[in-house]
Amino acid sequence: MDKLKSSLTEPHRRLVELMQQVNFGRIENLAVRSGRPVLDPPPRIVREVKFGGQNGARPEASSGNFALKAQVVELLQYIDAMRNGLIEVLEIKHGLPFRIIVEGAA
């Protein structure tokens, strides 16, 4: 069964929406507390602009509900398991998590 956006907690949903808004780029210094991303204060956002390419938000960003892609589910599972820490860099491509760089992970 697919996991839907509507089934997420508010912090997880806000992170998914932020990734869709960024589309290409990265989120830096994203704190994780009790298995949830901390978006207040907001993390640093670095957008990648490609000339002749799609630079706006993902079309899904305006959709209220949809099935989450495997990469999103994997990221959210990682955040849940991480419990507390700092994601130094979360790289985003096509509105999806591509890779993360984590501080102090063993």
Residue 54 pLDDT = 73
More confident residue, 62 or 52: 52
Kindly give, in sequence order, each residue whose CB lies less than 8 Å from that of residue 83, ignoring residues fewer than 6 positions away: 32, 34, 35
The Cα–Cα gap between 12 and 17 comes to: 9
The domain limits of the chain are: 5-102
Structural contact between residues 2 and 67, judged by C-beta atoms closer than 8 angstroms:
yes
- DSSP secondary structure letter of residue 61: G
Percent of the chain with pLDDT over 90: 72
What are the percentages of helix, strand and coil residues in the chain, rounded to 5?
A: 30, 30, 35
* Torsion sign over Cα 90, 67, 11, 22: positive
- pLDDT over 70 (residue 21): yes
